[in-house]
Amino acid sequence: MVNAATTFTPVASLAGGALIGVAAVMLMALTGRIAGVSGIAVRLFPPYADGELGGRMAFVAGLVAAPVVVLVATGKMPAQTIQGNAVIMIVAGFLVGFGSVWGNGCTSGHGVCGLARLSLRSLVATISFMAAAMATTFVARHLG
């Protein structure tokens, strides 16, 4: 498999990251909840412990609508290169879903909100998923 080259985009990445932060702060200010995508996603399914299903569905709908909004605003679809066949997508998706709920959070809940709250649990989680992801990418790309 040939890896698609990407260019270093410090300004766009910093700005996009800041937007993610703005969204996390807005969600906390409005609903008092951590903007953790895995937690929001798993709570789309019963049992429902609170009356916030509508808000969670709206948040996920906003995530899905984002590339369409960017397409309309800029006139072109942003770059997206998916590497890996259907089997990899299913195995990887299952691991991402299982691990993020088993560990109480993913990149957004632990990596952004948790680190911003100076949570030791989130720091341990972030170091763990970063290390595991880097090791996996190394094995898949260079030892496979």
Which residue in this structure is represented by tokens 């995530």?
63
User: For residue 117, what are its two tokens?
Assistant: 């709250």
Which residue in this structure is represented by tokens 């299982």?
98
Min dist CB 51 to another protein, Å, is: 10
- In angstroms, the Cα distances linking 45 to 18, 22, 39, 64, 105 are 30, 27, 11, 18, 17
User: For residue 100, what are its two tokens?
Assistant: 């993020």
Name the residue nearer to another protein (CB basis): 75 or 82: 82
Closest by CA position to 39, among listed 141, 118, 126, 113: 113
From candidates 48, 75, 76, 107, binder to another protein by CB under 8 A: 107
When asked if residue 90 is in the footprint of another protein (CB under 8 A), the reply is: yes
Number of residues interacting with another protein: please give it, by CB under 8 A. Answer: 117
When asked if residue 70 is in the footprint of another protein (CB under 8 A), the reply is: yes
When asked if residue 124 is in the footprint of another protein (CB under 8 A), the reply is: yes
The site string for another protein over 44-63 (x = CB under 8 A, - otherwise) reads: xx---x----xxx-xxxxxx
Name the residue nearer to another protein (CB basis): 17 or 75: 17
Q: Quick check: helix, strand or coil at residue 7?
A: coil
From candidates 72, 75, 76, 86, binder to another protein by CB under 8 A: 86
Which residue in this structure is represented by tokens 């066949």?
85
Which residue in this structure is represented by tokens 């679809």?
77
Min dist CB 75 to another protein, Å, is: 14
